[in-house]
């Protein structure tokens, strides 16, 4: 069975391998054996601005002179930080000593996440920048078009050395010929995008298969175990399976889990990025004369 709802106190690796565990990330993570996974990919919820009324004031406010009282968003920042910190701690426990962790987010939250990671002892190896060829057309002329998401790639500890890095793939994916930390690829759309029964997109931030293909190929070996504690519609496991890696996915929303189940009925056949798509990418990033 692909789907499982963990009831026991703790699980062996074998019991949860290649399963989607229905439940809260933190609760389920704590049931997994320690030092058991080779790589973790996390796509945490984005930080959403709540209406000011629901927010508390930030206690550190008193540090600053001459500041008006509208610093209300910090109450929710604190809650967000707490959530991130706890899940990063729980992840750290299940990572093998030389496992690596990927986290993806936008500027709304990536800075908070990165600092928390460093404070917990994670050692950042790279930031990788996903440049979207077809970002949301949010051009109001008041900001730069936000065409990027940032991935942080890290090890548990500064001392971790023998992590997996397949540089041939890194060179293939990064722009230029030097394996740079910049990936240019389109967002998930078209047939790849999962739809609900209402015909609308099932998940608001479904990650493209190609993104996970790159993550997995550069940082794991065949047979490795990949964990995604906030699986959403399960792109991580879906691509992992196609690349002969094992996966453990955790997702709390039954709607998404149902989506994963349906998705897995038709296993992914991976093909390299089409030359047509490559051409599009090339056109996109080319600077005009």
Which spans of this chain sit near DNA (rule: CB under 7 A)? 43-51, 53-60, 62, 64-67, 72, 105-109, 118, 123-125, 133-143, 146, 149, 161-162, 167, 176-178, 186-191, 193, 200-201, 204-206, 280, 284
Min dist CB 31 to DNA, Å, is 24
| CB closer to its own copies out of 18 and 73 | 73
Matching residue, tokens 């062996």: 12
- Separation between Cα atoms, residue 251 and residue 25, nearest integer Å: 7
| CB closer to DNA out of 149 and 224 | 149
Question: CB-based burial of residue 284 (10 Å sphere; 0-12 exposed, 13-18 middle, 19+ buried)?
Answer: middle
Selected binder of its own copies within 1, 62, 144, 200 (CB under 8 A): 144
How many angstroms separate the Cα of 242 from the Cα of each of 55, 166, 216?
44, 18, 11
Largest CA distance in the chain: 63
The site partner of 264 among its own copies, DNA, none (C-beta below 5 to 8 Å per kind) is none
| Residue 154: closest CA among 213, 110, 210 | 110
Q: Taking CB under 8 A as the criterion, which residues in 202-231 touch its own copies?
A: 218
Q: Is 139 in the site for its own copies (CB under 8 A)?
A: yes
* Residue 114 half-sphere exposure toward CB, CA atoms < 13 A: 17
Is the four-CA dihedral 18, 262, 259, 202 of positive or negative sign? positive
Q: Which stretch binds its own copies (CB under 8 A): 18-26, 133-141, 228-236, 246-254?
A: 133-141
| CB closer to DNA out of 8 and 53 | 53
């Amino acid at each position: 069975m692909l789907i499982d709802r963990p009831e026991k106190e703790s699980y062996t690796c074998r019991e949860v391998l290649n399963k989607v565990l229905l439940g809260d990330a933190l609760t389920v993570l704590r049931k997994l054996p320690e030092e058991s996974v080779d790589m973790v990919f996390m796509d945490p919820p984005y930080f959403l601005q709540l209406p000011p009324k629901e927010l508390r004031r930030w206690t550190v406010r008193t540090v600053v002179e001459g500041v008006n009282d509208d610093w209300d968003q910090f109450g929710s920042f604190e809650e967000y930080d707490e959530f991130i910190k706890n899940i990063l701690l729980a992840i750290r426990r299940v990572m093998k000593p030389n496992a690596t962790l990927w986290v993806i987010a936008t500027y709304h939250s990536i800075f908070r996440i990165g600092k928390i990671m460093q404070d917990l002892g994670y050692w950042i190896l790279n930031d990788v920048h996903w440049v979207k060829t077809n970002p949301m057309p949010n051009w109001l002329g008041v900001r730069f078009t936000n065409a990027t998401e940032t991935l942080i790639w890290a090890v548990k500890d500064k001392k971790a050395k023998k992590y997996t890095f397949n540089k041939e793939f890194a060179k293939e994916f990064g722009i230029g010929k030097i394996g740079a930390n910049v990936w240019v690829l389109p967002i998930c759309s078209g047939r790849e995008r999962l739809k609900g029964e209402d015909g609308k997109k099932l998940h608001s931030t479904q990650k493209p298969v190609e993104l996970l293909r790159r993550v997995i190929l550069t940082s794991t070996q065949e047979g490795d175990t990949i964990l995604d504690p906030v699986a959403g519609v399960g792109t991580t496991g879906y691509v992992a399976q196609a690349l002969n890696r094992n996966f453990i996915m955790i997702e709390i929303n039954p709607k998404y889990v149902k989506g994963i189940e349906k998705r897995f009925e038709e296993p992914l056949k991976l093909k390299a990025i089409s030359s047509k798509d490559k051409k599009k990418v090339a056109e996109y990033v080319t600077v005009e004369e």
